[in-house]
Amino acid sequence: MEVLLALSIGGLVLIAATALLVTISQAWANRPATRDAFDAHVNGVSHFLTAVLEEASVSSFALPKDQRVDLQYPVGFSDAEDPLIHFYLREAPPLFFSPYGSANRVHGYLYPDEQDGLSILWFSELQELEKNDQGRMEPEDEDELRKTLVSPFCEEIYYCYYGEEDAAPDDIKEWEIKNELEESEKTDGYRIPAFVKLVFRWDDEDLERTISLAVENLAPTGIEEEPK
């Protein structure tokens, strides 16, 4: 009797699990097309940002301490709490539309906004520029910054750091994810994260994507060269 009872209970559990699997499969098969569009949008934005940041280089106007990807305040944003992730492109993609033709020699800033989503603020070195207090060239006025919307669904951004800033090469390092930029202990500014995590939200569903920041200048092989 105990064996029969155990078999009966096991059979009921198996039937329930099978019914649940079938229900989930049917729900997935009957999901609306907009769900696929949301997935495609998130993947497209992630691939776009990854490609853009991989193409980042150092401007001829850059200061000696500037890197391929760094943190800067665009014109008109000096009163903001945190700087924005800044990069430079010799040739911008078609998404950076300019009324004067194709955009070249572009400075871009990742600009997350609670209402509008994720945008890129940018200007071209071919515009009329002036030198700011830090010695960098920028437009004379904030109105000359152009804004390109990347995703209205990106509602959160997190900054990923690997280990402490003053960690030695042999120290054990751990990943830390923060919702704000980490202040630097070596300078008066902020520490550049290794990755940013973007959270896209649509219809109470979240999708996360991690974007690498091309901070280090690597050799053509992709391996950092040892100092000579």
Amino acid at 29: A
pLDDT value of residue 2: 58
Q: How confident is the model at residue 32 (pLDDT cuts 50, 70, 90)?
A: low
pLDDT value of residue 25: 45
Beta bridge partners of 109: 86, 121
Question: At 106, which helix (H) or strand (E)?
Answer: strand 104-113
Report pTM: 0.77
Tokens of 19: 């019914």
pLDDT value of residue 166: 78
Tokens of 122: 């940018």
pLDDT at position 222 over 80: no
| CA 138/CA 61 separation, integer angstroms | 10
Degrees (nearest 5) of the Cα angle 16, 20, 26?
145
Tokens of 123: 């200007």
| CA 48/CA 208 separation, integer angstroms | 15
pLDDT at position 28 over 50: no
Closest to 176 measured CA to CA, from 150, 151, 194, 202: 194
Tens of pLDDT, residue by residue over 168-221, are: 778 888 889 999 999 888 887 899 999 999 999 988 889 999 999 866 544 444
Q: Looking only at Cα atoms, what is the longest distance across the chain?
A: 90
Tens of pLDDT, residue by residue over 60-110, are: 888 888 889 999 999 988 766 789 999 999 888 888 877 766 678 899 999
pLDDT value of residue 23: 54
Degrees (nearest 5) of the Cα angle 123, 127, 130?
90
